[in-house]
Amino acid sequence: MTGQFLTLEGIDGAGKSTHVDFIRDWLTARGIDVVVTREPGGTPLGEALRALLLDVKSDISLDTETLLMFAARQAHVDAVIRPALAAGRWVLSDRFTDATFAYQGGGRGVPFERIAELERWVLRDLRVDRTFLFDIPPDVARARMSTTRTLDRFEREREAFHQRVRNAYLSRAEADIDRIRVLDAELPVATLQAELARDLGRLLERR
Ligand SMILES: Nc1ncnc2c1ncn2[C@@H]1O[C@H](COP(=O)(O)OP(=O)(O)OP(=O)(O)O)[C@@H](O)[C@H]1O
Ligand SMILES: Cc1cn([C@H]2C[C@H](O)[C@@H](COP(=O)(O)O)O2)c(=O)[nH]c1=O
């Protein structure tokens, strides 16, 4: 039996990474072998591209940024995600293709159809089984981030950019209600984890 492919999404600072260990531990306690990974990243090449993308010093065009995201994704899908799913392991990725639609599409204005073409090319038959979208107003997310880290190239974008990213995520969730669960990321961590556990339980039952 192939494994399930789960992804976490949301604007920067929404709080998605806070739940990675919880989801992994919850599944592991129920006998599921989980591979935790992230995008951009997940392979040595992907991590090198991540460092470049998050902290590029020179100008980078929208198309170059989009293609680099997909170059990292191609390596990630082939080297990590497909083999893990084929071996019956579950994969939990902190961001995946929805992020390109939201950031490069919604945020920067790259045509969604162009991103969809790249998605068809790189993913072929690969599908995400469940996406948890942590939804939060950009000003709340910004207040959370600024206390904890030096901001990267995306995090430094203006509030209007993050609002467009948020809107694009929400539009995708509306169009794909079977896959994307929208969580109110302003709720306390414990409340969110109870919701996550309920939904993971449903995923386990339908296996
Ligand atoms: N539900 C919550 N309530 C209050 N604070 C939270 C909540 N969830 C996370 N935080 C805090 O918000 C900050 C950002 O969380 P986290 O790093 O998980 O966000 P993220 O979505 O992964 O961000 P990024 O995508 O930029 O890496 C952290 O300081 C974290 O402790
Ligand atoms: C996969 C992907 C990511 N991004 C952006 C979104 C974030 O700002 C960073 C990743 O950092 P994180 O805080 O660890 O999530 O990259 C993007 O613009 N497009 C993508 O496809």
Q: What is the CATH number of the domain that holds 13?
A: 3.40.50.300
Pick from 36-50, 110-124, 149-163: least confident: 149-163
Q: Is 14 annotated as a binding residue?
A: yes
Atom 8 of ligand 2, nearest CA residue: 154
- pLDDT of 1 reads 63
Q: Whose CA is nearest to atom 13 of ligand 1?
A: 144
SS3 of 9, please? strand
pLDDT (average), residues 45-63: 93
13 is in an annotated binding site: yes
Model confidence at 148: pLDDT above 90: no
Asked whether 88 and 2 are in contact (CB, 8 A), the reply is yes
Q: For residue 132, give the nearest of 25, 28, 40, 19 by alpha carbon.
A: 19
Q: Is 13 in the pocket of ligand 1 (CB under 6 A)?
A: yes
**Model pTM score:** 0.97
C-alpha to C-alpha distance for 191 and 193, rounded to whole angstroms: 5
For residues 17 and 49, give the distance between their C-alpha atoms in angstroms, rounded to a whole number.
Answer: 20
15: annotated binding-site residue?
yes
The residue range of the domain holding 132 is 5-205
- Residue nearest to ligand 2 atom 12, measured at CA: 12
Pairing of strands 180-184, 34-38: unpaired
Average pLDDT value for residue range 137-157: 89
Q: List residues bridging with 125 in a β-sheet.
A: none
Q: Which two tokens stand for residue 104?
A: 């490069």
- Going from the C-alpha of 181 to that of each of 14, 44, 99, 176, the distances in angstroms are 14, 30, 15, 9
Pocket of ligand 1 contains residue 61 by CB under 6 Å: no
Is 63 annotated to bind a ligand? Reply is: no
CA of 178 to the centre of ligand 2 (A): 24
For ligand 1, whether the C-beta of 144 sits within 6 Å is yes
Nearest ligand, CA 18: 1
Q: Which residue's alpha carbon is at the smallest distance from atom 26 of ligand 1?
A: 12
- Smallest CA-to-CA distance from 56 within 145, 156, 146, 129 is with 156
Identify the pLDDT of residue 89.
98
Are the CB atoms for 158 and 186 separated by under 8 Å? no
Percent of the chain with pLDDT over 70: 99
Residue 50 beta carbon below 6 angstroms from any ligand 2 atom: no
Digit-coded pLDDT (tens) for 4-16? 999 999 999 999 9
The percent of residues above 90 in pLDDT, for the chain, comes to 93
Average pLDDT on 20-29 reads 98
The whole-chain average pLDDT of the chain stands at 96
* Average pLDDT estimate for 155-181: 97
Rounded to whole angstroms, the Cα distance separating 59 from 73 reads: 22
Q: Cα–Cα distance between 96 and 179 in angstroms, integer?
A: 13
**175-196 tens-digit pLDDT:** 999 999 999 999 999 999 999 9
Domains held by the chain: number: 1
Rounded to an integer, what distance in angstroms lies between the CA atom of residue 115 and that of residue 98? Answer: 10
